[in-house]
Amino acid sequence: MGGGSSDSGLPDIAFMWMMYKAQACGLEFDQQAISGSIHPSWSGDLHGERPGFYKYLSSHTRRVGDPRFASQAVHPETATRFESDAVDYSPTNLANYLASSGRQVAETGPFDPVD
């Protein structure tokens, strides 16, 4: 999910999505306490470094929209980031998925994204 960087815009989007899913299962959050500490932004820096010996392992690019995972969907902020000229973000697997007719966009939940 991320962490360890002062720019928390992208990880905060994932955090908000997890809170939304947890709320759907009955977990409650103090909205006042949360509102000042998270700052979601699709234009945040992407930190893809792999720590320790993981950087020596080959990476695997997974297929977005794999039919074996029917509930798979792309977060709307991912599509916004991909389509924006403001950041360099153009993974081939995401481009193929967004161009497909079967693409699904996830629900964001009750929290408004900020940029």
* pTM score, whole prediction: 0.59
Same domain, 65 and 99: yes
Torsion sign across C-alpha atoms 81, 104, 106, 15: negative
Tell whether 114 is covered by a domain. no
Tell whether 47 is covered by a domain. no
Same domain, 5 and 26: yes
Tell whether 8 is covered by a domain. yes
**Other CB atoms within 10 A of residue 5 CB:** 14
Tell whether 113 is covered by a domain. no
pLDDT in tens, the chain (115 residues): 445 566 677 888 888 888 888 988 999 988 888 877 888 877 777 766 677 777 777 777 777 877 777 677 788 888 888 888 888 888 888 888 888 877 777 666 655 544 4
What 3-state DSSP class applies to 54?
helix
Residue type, 110: P
What 3-state DSSP class applies to 93?
helix
Same domain, 5 and 28: yes
Tell whether 86 is covered by a domain. yes
Alpha helices, DSSP H only, in 25-75? 31-35
Same domain, 37 and 57: no
Per DSSP, 55 falls in state G
- The number of distinct structural domains making up the chain is 2
- Alpha-carbon Rg for the chain, nearest whole angstrom, is 16
pLDDT at 3: 54
Same domain, 35 and 57: no
Same domain, 36 and 77: no
**18 lies in which domain range?**
1-41
